[in-house]
Structure 1
Amino acid sequence: MKLNNLIILLFVSLLAFSCAKQSTPMGGPQDEDPPVVLEMTPKDQSLNTKPEEITLVFDEYIKLDNANKNILITPRINKDEVIFTALKNTLVIELNQELEDSTTYVFNFQKSITDLSEGNPAENLKLVFSTGESIDSLNVSGSVNTYFPGRNDKLEDAIVGLYPLVDTTNVFIAPPYYLSQVDSSGNFNISNIKAGKYLAYAWQDDNNSLKAEYKSEAFDFIRDTITIDQNIDGIQFNLSKGDQNPIRLLRSSTLGSNYTIVLNKTPIEVTLENEEMGKEIFYTLGDKRINLFSKQVFSDSLAFNVSLKDSVGYQIDSLIWTKFEESDRNPEKLTTTANSGKSFYRNLPIELTFNKPIRDINYDSLYLSYDTASMIAISPDMLRFKDSLRRDILEINLLVPDSIPFETFSLKAADSTFLDIEGQYNEVALSANYKKLKTETLADAISGKIEGSEGPFIIQLLDSKGELKRESYLDQGNQFSFTLIESGNYQIRIIEDSNGNRRWDPANFEERRYAERTFDFIDPETGTKNITIRGGWKVEDIVITAQPKTGLRTNPN
């Protein structure tokens, strides 16, 4: 009897538990509707209001996605003081600060508010109100382009900002007064602007600080003051990176028997003046440092006039007294790297890079091998140092005739082939392989012209990964051509070398100088950068049109 009662009690308990348990109903259509605002306090387009708190009530439960980044508030307020709270179907924004008089405020929620169940974002949600008698209604719009875009760069991470001309801050110091997020197509629109004079900037806001970083973030600016007294359309920005900190000499000192100069950044131009330079003393350029090497010890200090220029154009000139003394410190071992893996046709360009200046070469153990028993001897007339004051990059140029019926060639250098300035030989033998291309596998030419720009030009042929394969310089005219090209997919980039220094120059913010323009070939049919070419082909009459310059492209409307 007791056993029967126990079984009945257990059955009733399980039945009660199953009835009490709640679960999400199975089936039914998925919720695809975004949350809809039922009530706003203050109301949209309100006048003469200075709220301490803003409330939005929705028709369903909501959640916030990174409100500090995704909710754009203009004009500028202290966002660190703002508190966003989402509870059930209500969003509360505590401002915790006094708003400006006679000012139109815009809260652009973008995609920061989603429904709780499916994550559908509220669409085109904005709140506009004024602390004065009227709503400011002026708009500024345009587009943003990126020079040398990185793989992780997204235009929708970029920001365009306006700073009042009377503002003492700028894009590197503080967030803008008005701002807009750039969309994935590179377009932007800033609305509800008060009439006045402004400075305009755009930047890749990778760290979500609402201001640009001197060293790491691409940026651009409009050089002239923009007077906004009517709607303006057609502002163009071209983002580019360039460390805006001026180059500085941090310290210099002896390092063993050598001398080192430490900098805050790596220069692109180095001038070292002393009568021993290129004779007894040579240098290498490393990451933020210049290393001076001497063949011999000098009893007295030597004076060097040092002139350095960085990538954005800043220059320093200094007088440095150096010492080259005896040292018990063991010299660093000599290392060698080669541009192995390169393909070539007839002319084989070999490049060897050393960690120290080279004093001597043993030509008996340096040669080009193309089978187990055959080789081409390397002679002094085939060699040149890329910079005679450095002697750390050795270029070997030789002709491989078509009469040699082999595809693979190997540069061989035995140990003790190279002697550096400190008396160290290479301890490891070098072997670098190169592939000779057959005539029938080569495309005849890629040629075309440049429109909408004036030279000189740097013309770069890139592979499908964006790596540089060939480069040419065009002093005059707008016609270009690359011949005898390996089959494959390519891109063409044009650099407008305005100052003729044969390199691309980024913007200089302090000097209000724009970055040199770059633009790519875009296939008008596919909208891509790719050019496919095969053996025996010619791709002619390519037209590369220059991108718009930074600035106001069209007249205000």
Structure 2
Amino acid sequence: MKHTTTYFWLFAAFLIISSCAVREAPKGGPEDKTPPAILGVDPAEGSILLPLDASFDVTFSKTMQHENTEGAIFLSPVFWGYPRFKWSGKKLTIVPPENLRGGTTYILTIGANATDIRGNKLGRSQSFAFSTGIAIDSGGISGAIFSTDGQHIAYDIWAYALGDSGAEGFYRRIPDYATQVDSIGGFKIEHLGNNSYLVVAVNDKNDDLFWDPSSEEIGLPPSILNITSGEQIEKIILRPARRDTATAYISKATPLSRQRIAVEFSQLPQKDRMLNPDLYRISYNNDSLLNFGPPYIGESGALIFETDPQIAGRSYQLISHGLVSIWGVPFDSAGIRFTGIEMPDTVKATLQTIFPPNGSTSIYEDSLIEMTFSKGIRALTLPTAVTVMADSIDTLRFSPAWVTPNIVRLRFPARIPREKKINVSLKADKMQDDFQNTMGDSILSFSFRLPPQDTVGSVTATLESGRVGNIIGILSNYSQEKGTYQSHLELAGGFNFSSVMPGIYRFELFADSDSNGEWSPGVISPFQPSERFLFIPDTVTVRSRWATDIGSVSLPILPR
């Protein structure tokens, strides 16, 4: 009887434990991939005359991860403190940290990153508007995030209501409005009142609503956006990137010989300024100057100055004025000192890079060949040292054009012939650097073959608003091997890419306001907007002998 009683209690305990166990989907069953939904909010969307001590309830269709979902909740205009969150099953109560302001439209946003306990995200930010006044504001700003690497990051979108204060120092305060991008990178800030707004995208890794330049990417807008009378501003593209806002300065100057100096920077300068010799001065004995030629980028990435002979042991000072980093940070004008050395320059120049690449068969560029050397080359020695031949029979005439002292482009009066093997040979003993060192006694050569005309296609696009400044269109191939094509807006208001290798491309265009040929990301301080930019989310497929028309495209027309 004793054993029977023992077995009974063991069995009963087993039943109790089993009934208390966590219930899970049967193993091997279908995985739950259904995203959560918002079933309702209280007060109801569009409610007006809210009491100033109001709180907000959100009911989800599924049980949510608390911490993750709370991090995706935004109540705008943003408070200095954080809301308090109370959970009751699938219902979340959001309690503002202080009373609401009278006569104000509030937007409750549940961001796209809100996640259920199975890891499924909401996928699209949803906003609900309420007002403590008698009406709800109806202005809006929408757009998208652009990322060249294709990575999806749950960027926050922040809007600062500027009033009369301007944008300077915006990053020192909490934004007035906040939301998140959706699963495909789009965003929309709704129910904005009449005001001037600065909208930015931030990878707010610590969720503190402040931009941290040391670790967080930020994207600036193409303009301060002014909203009046419920205006809707669309197609705002933000391109986040890491920015260096620390002081920019010349970090190092190292003599390589008595006539060459390698210069390094704490931040990368804007290229056109970095290569401008008028923005530098090398002095000694207070007022005396050391002459130098146009600088160039050397094989290690340092900026190389070739100078008159330096005096060993003499102290020199390299000073820059007007240098600006790629992020808009002005360089310190204090400069840097270095000591001259006696060593003559006897290092031989080498051929670093060539275009088209050796052995290539898919590059369509048929008007130039480019060579980059490790040192500056005496221009007069190149025509006698370089020969370009087609199929080892026909010698092709060319004209050299020096981009920098170490980069030369061979331009051809007639097109480089197709379907023939093009061989470029360089007699090293005929090539001299600026110090009369020859490149050696061998013959360097590389070859390539251009594809036939019938292997390429063409792409066209039309700008809706016609010619508005310097507009540049870009076709970027998703396979880096196929290259990038660039077209300036033609007088007729269109873009024409006449010879494009087959492949899958992305089309972009931007307003090149500073005429440097590159999209400019804007400056944090003093604030400067980015250049207007647009990309087509659909891919462009280019086929041989096909003409592909993208259709009409337009840059955002920004209200003033």
Q: TM-score, normalised by structure 1?
A: 0.69
Match of 1:392 among 406, 414, 431: 406
Q: Which residue of 2 aligns with 1:546?
A: 554
| C-alpha displacement of 1:318 | 5.5
Q: Distance in 2 between matches of 1:231 and 1:137?
A: 10
Alignment of 1:41-190 (within 5 A): 47-50=50-53, 62-64=64-66, 66-79=68-81, 81-82=82-83, 84=85, 86=87, 88=89, 91=92, 97-99=97-99, 101-102=101-102, 105-110=106-111, 116=117, 134=133, 137-145=136-144, 149-152=147-150, 157-165=155-163, 171-183=170-182, 184=184, 186-190=186-190
- Hey, what does 1:354 align to over in structure 2? 373
Task: Identify which range, 81-90 or 257-266, moves more after superposition.
Answer: 81-90
Q: Which runs of 5+ in 1 are unaligned?
A: 553-557
> SS of 1:137's equivalent?
coil
Pairing 1:218–2:219 present? yes
1:268 to 245, 262, 271: 271
Give the AA of the match of 1:159. I
Secondary structure of 1:269's partner?
A: helix
Q: Choose from 338, 362, 369 the match for 2:354.
A: 338
Is the 1:266–1:289 contact (alpha carbons within 8 Å) kept by the matching residues of 2?
no
Q: State the partner residue of 1:284.
A: 296
Whether contact under 8 Å (1:312, 1:507) holds in the other structure is yes
Q: CA deviation at 1:262?
A: 2.6
Change (3 A) 1:412 1:322: farther
Q: 1:475 to 1:362 in 2, by over 3 A?
A: closer
Q: Distance in 2 between matches of 1:127 and 1:482?
A: 45
Q: 1:169-211 deviations in whole A, cap 9, x for unaligned?
A: 75422231233445447351433x6x6x533122222235545
CA distance in 2, matches of 1:434, 1:199: 55
Residues 48, 130 of structure 2: 8 Å contact kept: yes
Alpha-carbon deviation of 1:162?
A: 3.7
Q: Is the Cα–Cα contact under 8 Å of residues 76 and 178 in structure 1 kept in the other structure?
A: yes
Residue 507 (structure 1) shift: 3.6
State the Cα deviation string for residues 378-429 of structure 1 (Å, max 9, x = none): 99x6433212xxx12122345898889744x454558777655575857998
- What RMSD in Å do the two structures reach over aligned CA positions? 5.5
Q: 1:326 matched to which residue of 2?
A: 341
Counterparts of 1:417 and 1:469, CA distance in 2? 34
Q: Which has the higher strand share?
A: 1
Alpha carbons of 1:224 and 1:117: their partners in 2 closer, same or farther (altered >3 Å)? Answer: closer
Aligned to 1:434: 448
Higher gyration radius (CA): 1
1:294 and 2:307 matched: yes
Note closer, same or farther for the CA distance 1:438–1:289 as it changes in structure 2 (3 Å cut). closer
User: Letter of the aligned partner of 1:77 in structure 2?
Assistant: F
Q: TM-score, normalised by structure 2?
A: 0.69
- Is residue 453 of structure 1 aligned with residue 466 of structure 2? yes
- Number of equivalenced pairs: 520
Asked if 2 retains the 8 angstrom alpha-carbon contact of 1:419 and 1:426, the reply is no
Identical-pair percentage: 16
Taking structure 1 as reference, are residues 123 and 333 closer, same or farther at Cα in structure 2, changes over 3 Å only?
closer
Structure 2, unpaired ranges of 5+ = 283-288
Q: CA deviation at 1:72?
A: 0.5
Q: Please state whether the residue corresponding to 2:139 is helix, strand or coil.
A: strand
Name the structure 2 match of 1:555. Answer: none
* 1:203 aligned residue: 200
